[in-house]
């Protein structure tokens, strides 16, 4: 982040109440393995024209997550955290608190944590439009060409943005813009005077339609969770430790059983090569398996990594192992494939799914790999850790 104004700071403010009726505790729930409040913070931090990132909250858990993510926290008064209190009141309070402590605020970027896919480059564009482009306020929207209708007092349909008896082609229609609710930018002094986010000369920042998901109910939360791994950038997986399940991750989740009941499984040689590279880089690895099977122990010995077998409570085992090894779970990757991995995935900073994972695991993952279990998924993870 770098300063953009000689007359005052560009401040991103993220109001985040603890209460939520549609999706309880939604601001701290993970979408793609990342809590919603942290997603908003990261979007603001990645915008080069934002100087400071502020979270206004009445909730201790939101405050703690926000500080750990690198944001500053302003305590939101109880009377501004009720259902009837608008976001504008929280933003005005945050500006007052900043200026009371000596920070001159020139431009405000208001981000909503309920929008999980805020594009940082578009935030920069919004700031530029306010600071350099002659706009007082701007908002994010995406271009649409849909035929809009409304119901009249009798319930009959009435065309809004077109003539009902004319159906022009898309290329012959005028575009309209649907407000996403993800972010707004405005001049601080003008906002203080208007006490509303739309005033003066208002501009539009176009964003991709895929970024326009806004979470107000459980169905939208499920949609966002499904989209998250698809929209995630192919970033380096920045961790200090790697933990994996065994069946369905190191294997293709099938086994061959002989007449004596002995099992054999199929594994990937490229996974073995990757684990060797990880070991030489000094990054600890643990295989955490529900099954107790000689083949798991044999594979772990071959790879020269730690293994815990017969684990019914993977979350507890993972927590105990990390504490004993002095490993920060926030900087740990967990690679899983099925529902018995979910409790452990929630604990780590990088929950990751193989390509053929159970849909619930895919929804919980921060990253979904392109390779299937037993077909190079472990190697793909390790390559991105060592990239």
Per-residue H/E/C for 354-367: CCCCCHHHHHHCCE
User: Is the sign of the CA dihedral 16, 17, 18, 20 positive or negative?
Assistant: negative
Q: What is the DSSP letter of 290?
A: S
- Tokens representing residue 234 in the block: 């192919």
Our measurement of the distance from residue 51's CA atom to the centroid of its chain's CA atoms, rounded to an integer in Å, reads: 21
Could you read off the pLDDT of 23-56 as tens digits, one per residue?
888 999 889 888 999 999 999 999 999 999 999 9
Q: What is the pLDDT of residue 156?
A: 96
Task: Please provide residue 143's backbone torsions phi and psi, each rounded to the nearest 5 degrees.
Answer: -75, 135
What is the chain's Cα-based Rg? 25
CATH 3.90.550.10 domain position(s) in the chain: 9-223
Q: What is the pLDDT of residue 230?
A: 80
Residue 355 to residue 344: CA distance in whole angstroms: 18
CB 139 within 8 A of CB 207: no
Bridging pattern class, strands 176-187 and 157-159: unpaired
Residue 101's Cβ-side half-sphere holds a number of Cα atoms within 13 Å equal to: 6
Q: Which of 338, 370, 332 is nearest to 351 (CA)?
A: 332
Angle (CA) 42 46 48, round 5°: 150
Q: What is the DSSP letter of 248?
A: T
Q: What is the pLDDT of residue 3?
A: 43
Could you read off the pLDDT of 239-290 as tens digits, one per residue?
999 999 999 999 998 888 888 878 888 999 999 999 999 999 999 999 999 9
CATH 3.40.50.1000 domain position(s) in the chain: 241-386
H helix or E strand, kind and range, residue 138: strand 137-144
- The second-level CATH assignment, the architecture, of 241-386 is 3-Layer(aba) Sandwich (3.40)
- Residues of the chain under the 70 pLDDT cut: 1-6
Q: Which CATH class is domain 9-223?
A: alpha beta
Going by C-beta distance under 8 Å and a sequence separation of 6 or more, which residues neighbour residue 357?
248, 336, 337, 338, 365, 368, 373
């Amino acid at each position: 982040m770098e300063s953009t104004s000689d007359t005052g700071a560009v401040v991103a403010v993220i109001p985040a109440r603890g209460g939520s009726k549609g999706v309880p505790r939604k601001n701290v729930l993970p979408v793609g393995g990342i809590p919603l409040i942290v997603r908003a913070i990261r979007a603001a931090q990645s915008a080069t024209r934002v100087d400071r990132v502020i979270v206004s909250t009445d909730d201790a858990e939101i405050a703690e997550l926000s500080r750990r993510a690198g944001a500053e926290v302003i305590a939101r008064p109880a009377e501004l955290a009720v259902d009837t209190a608008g976001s504008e009141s929280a933003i005005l309070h945050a500006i007052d608190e900043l200026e009371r402590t000596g920070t001159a605020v020139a431009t405000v970027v208001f981000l909503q944590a309920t929008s999980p896919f805020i594009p940082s480059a578009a935030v920069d564009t919004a700031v530029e439009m306010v600071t350099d482009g002659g706009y007082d306020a701007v908002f994010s929207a995406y271009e649409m060409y849909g035929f809009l209708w409304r119901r009249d007092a009798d319930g009959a349909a009435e065309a809004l943005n077109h003539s009902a008896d004319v159906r022009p082609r898309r290329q012959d229609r005028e575009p309209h813009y649907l407000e996403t609710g993800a972010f707004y930018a405005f001049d601080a002094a003008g906002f203080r005077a208007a006490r509303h986010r739309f005033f003066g000369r208002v501009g539009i920042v176009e964003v991709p339609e895929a970024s326009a998901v806004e979470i107000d109910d459980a169905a939208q939360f499920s949609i966002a969770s499904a989209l998250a791994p698809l929209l995630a950038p192919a970033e380096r997986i920045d961790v200090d430790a790697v933990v994996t399940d065994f069946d369905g991750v190191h294997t293709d989740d099938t086994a061959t059983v002989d007449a004596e009941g002995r099992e054999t499984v199929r594994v990937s040689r490229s996974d073995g090569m990757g684990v060797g590279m990880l070991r030489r880089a000094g990054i600890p690895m643990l295989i955490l398996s529900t099954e107790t099977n000689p083949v798991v122990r044999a594979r772990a010995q071959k790879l020269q990594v730690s293994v815990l077998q017969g684990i019914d409570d993977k979350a507890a085992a993972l927590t105990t192992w990390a504490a004993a090894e002095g490993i920060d779970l926030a900087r740990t990757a967990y690679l899983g494939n099925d529902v018995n991995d979910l409790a452990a995935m929630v604990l780590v900073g990088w929950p990751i799914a193989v390509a053929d994972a159970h849909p619930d695991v895919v929804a919980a993952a921060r990253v979904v790999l392109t390779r299937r279990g037993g077909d190079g998924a472990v190697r793909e993870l390790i390559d991105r850790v060592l990239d």
